[in-house]
Structure 1
């Protein structure tokens, strides 16, 4: 057995590895549970009692030697691989520039709008982008002959004239009113679709955010103060608002919401077309017919609603003059919003 131990020491000393497979071969032969060294330990039972102590010490020495040699081979292999990697590097090249990503301007504006209204107590709600006629039109008091119901304004699903791509996120508010009891305070951001020609000022796919508040004794004054607070949070503390009479099927009275131009401080410039005001959306008191359609008693509850285009808000905030830039993925445009 002594001769066998000596022969294994020489074999271990002369063993070389070039890759991970060679290292595994060494491990299996010399230090695994079923290795040749392990077989020698199993043979101790056949050694004479008076020689077992000496042979045990000899085998332990062989085992430790095999393990030390394994660690040497591992270190040698790792060093060699590191040198190969280093040999492939050109240290004269300039360092790679750190490239920071950026939030898309529409995502950033949407997040800011949501943040402002969430602090006012509005909850987020979502709904399907493919809607039925009831939630998209009828429940919102659209008359049967309203232009929005025509093919030239809406994308209807083929073979089913009662199903269409939603034209506004007001359909989400209908679903909320049908499933929740007042008080309701909800905000509905999302993608909407209109059958329009794509240009610098219009697109067939864009984003809206609409809000709804229903409770007892809600007044137009509540709507005005809510819009004023939002405008000053989004555009700046000195921002003023203006409400111009308008018409929407689902609100009465209705108003267009303008904010004072932050570029010229209301004095007039080419951005605001020298009026001093910028239109950002529409608003009004929820029509009693809309409340009735969703099972809410208009004699007990009143409410207000508002809506604005996220693209419109982003264009005003960043002075962007072409709506198509948001969807064309032009890297030159997107790089302007990289974090610094």
Structure 2
């Protein structure tokens, strides 16, 4: 049996020859130095230090060498791979530092600038609408009066000439509180605020009453596109010497023009309310067709007023002397007028809303459309 062959020619394994290993190392070091960013360095790492790189393949060939040659070849390949890995680590640190410096410059944030990450809020149109109405009357010299939403039965009904058996009480479906003996209701209109104002202040020489009363009211209505158990009204009261329907008409014409534009006036239609006499329904000139009753083309009826040229707006009248007497005002000397209309309905007219429920559903997309003011 022959012994082991100790003769070999290391040049026969070209991959681990000094020249090939040195060339692979130099190529790797050059590629590492030329890498301009971390992405390029990642590709260089795969090509020159990965499992299929020349030095990795050379390392695999060491096992095919005779035992006497393996040590020298292993040292040669190992030193080359170590130099490549050190160069990769050093270049990685350099490129990461350069990348961070670039980010600090290119993505710098001025923390002193106002942020726009938080959405801009918007006030509800019912709030701004009520304030606009109040401002119109304050500019005329009137005052704004408020009162509680849970009201005494006497102030809500009796003081306004709606006695216990008055048929008008059936016209206002009322929320009553428990126990019934307390005689408290959720107010069905803001007229109790007018009664409270007269009772508190009365009318003396040189001290007439001119107040406007916006606020929430409650009735047991169905909740649909045109009705709600909770809605908003604005009522006005003027008490002074010599007050007439002419003063009432002029006040409401000014109010209408301020809300809906110049040229919008009102008309009165005879009606009945227990707290005013005489009483009238208030109609607006249609602010879309301007009273013509026709659409823009002039061929079809106006959709807003249905061809009438007028839109129902609210109620008004001269304050009933019985109401003045019940509230401590001398009806032989003073007279007054009162009016009332829905704020919700007014805003629906003003902004072309078709469904009352959009005012109460809390959808921020609806509120945002109005911005911070009307």
- TM-score (norm. length: structure 1): 0.70
Change (3 A) 1:240 1:150: closer
The CA distance in 1 between the partners of 2:171 and 2:330, in whole Å, is 34
Deviations 1:149-187 (A, max 9, x none): 459800000222521100011001101101113211111
The match for 1:114 is: 134
Deviations 1:202-231 (A, max 9, x none): 000011111100011111111111111111
Change (3 A) 1:151 1:221: closer
Match among 339, 345, 349 for residue 316 of structure 1: 349
Match among 205, 227, 232 for residue 252 of structure 2: 227
The CA distance in 1 between the partners of 2:268 and 2:247, in whole Å, is 13
The CA distance in 2 between the partners of 1:304 and 1:247, in whole Å, is 14
Asked if the contact 2:172/2:188 (under 8 Å) is kept, the reply is no
The CA distance in 2 between the partners of 1:156 and 1:339, in whole Å, is 36
The match for 1:240 is: 265
Report which stretch shifted further, 141-150 or 326-335.
141-150
Question: What is the aligned residue count?
Answer: 253
Report which stretch shifted further, 184-193 or 141-150.
141-150
Unaligned runs of 5+ in 1: 1-82
Change (3 A) 1:334 1:284: same
Structure 1 position 181 matched with structure 2 position 206: no
Note the C-alpha offset of 1:142.
0.8
Structure 1 position 259 matched with structure 2 position 284: yes
Note the C-alpha offset of 1:126.
1.0
The CA distance in 2 between the partners of 1:236 and 1:184, in whole Å, is 28
Asked if the contact 1:281/1:307 (under 8 Å) is kept, the reply is yes
Change (3 A) 1:178 1:163: same
Match among 184, 190, 199 for residue 169 of structure 1: 190
Change (3 A) 1:114 1:339: closer
The CA distance in 2 between the partners of 1:151 and 1:259, in whole Å, is 24
Deviations 1:68-98 (A, max 9, x none): xxxxxxxxxxxxxxx9xx99x9889xx9567
Change (3 A) 1:150 1:324: same
The match for 1:123 is: 143
Change (3 A) 1:198 1:90: farther
The CA distance in 2 between the partners of 1:96 and 1:125, in whole Å, is 39
The CA distance in 2 between the partners of 1:181 and 1:296, in whole Å, is 6
Unaligned runs of 5+ in 2: 1-99, 110-114, 294-301
Asked if the contact 2:174/2:185 (under 8 Å) is kept, the reply is yes
The match for 2:95 is: none
CA RMSD across the alignment: 2.4
Within-5 A mapping of 1:203-222: 203-222=228-247
Deviations 1:310-333 (A, max 9, x none): 101100000101111111012332
Note the C-alpha offset of 1:274.
1.5
Note the C-alpha offset of 1:338.
2.5
Larger radius of gyration: 2
Note the C-alpha offset of 1:146.
3.4
Match among 273, 282, 298 for residue 331 of structure 2: 298
User: What secondary structure sits across from 1:337 in the alignment?
Assistant: coil
Structure 1 position 282 matched with structure 2 position 303: no
Within-5 A mapping of 1:60-79: none
The CA distance in 2 between the partners of 1:325 and 1:116, in whole Å, is 25
Report which stretch shifted further, 175-184 or 139-148.
139-148
The match for 1:198 is: 223
